[in-house]
Amino acid sequence: MANPQVKQSERKCTVRLAKATDIPQVIAIDTENTGLSKAEYWEDLFERYNNRSIDTDDDTQPKSVKRYRFFLVACDGDKVLGFIIGEVRAWEFGSPPCGWIFAVGVRNNIRQGGVGHVLLEALNDRFRKAGVNKVRTMLARDDTLIMSFFRSQGMMAGPFIQFEKDL
């Protein structure tokens, strides 16, 4: 539930690349949001997305494919308020390079306070610097909360249809 006393313009936070010390808070936010604890999953994502040979605080100049992967956190001091993860993907099913968002989460008690918006804009800025001009995501049809968030940020249904099959 959103905190009605916190308006979008009032939430102050800093967005930066995630650090190893942030992962327990990311896990806690995701567990709070989903009801599932997936510590190994988040630790693996951190390793894949932030294991870089250059300074982890410098993500301004992408230099390789790894540099087009972003695991960002919004912080107020040492407290992680939310996170977003995305990457640039190229030529999947004929699509030119575009940004893909595949995880976003904000602490329940500060939702609708602007943290998700700040995170999405920070990720979009990195996508633009990587040379792409479109961003995509995929979500469950019944996840009305996240669907409403993405729609409020100007996103809409795209040209692709997802298929799946039980194995």
CATH of the domain at 23: 3.40.630.30
Residue 159 lies in a domain: no
Residue 43 lies in a domain: yes
Our count of domains for the chain comes to 1
Structural domain boundaries enclosing 98: 8-150
List, for residues 44-90, the tens digit of each pLDDT value: 999 888 765 444 455 555 445 456 899 999 999 999 999 999 999 98
Entry pTM? 0.84
CB within 8 A of 70, min separation 6: which ones?
17, 49, 59, 84, 85, 86, 87, 123, 126
Largest pairwise CA distance in the chain: 48
Q: Quote the distance between the C-alpha of residue 109 and its chain's center.
A: 18
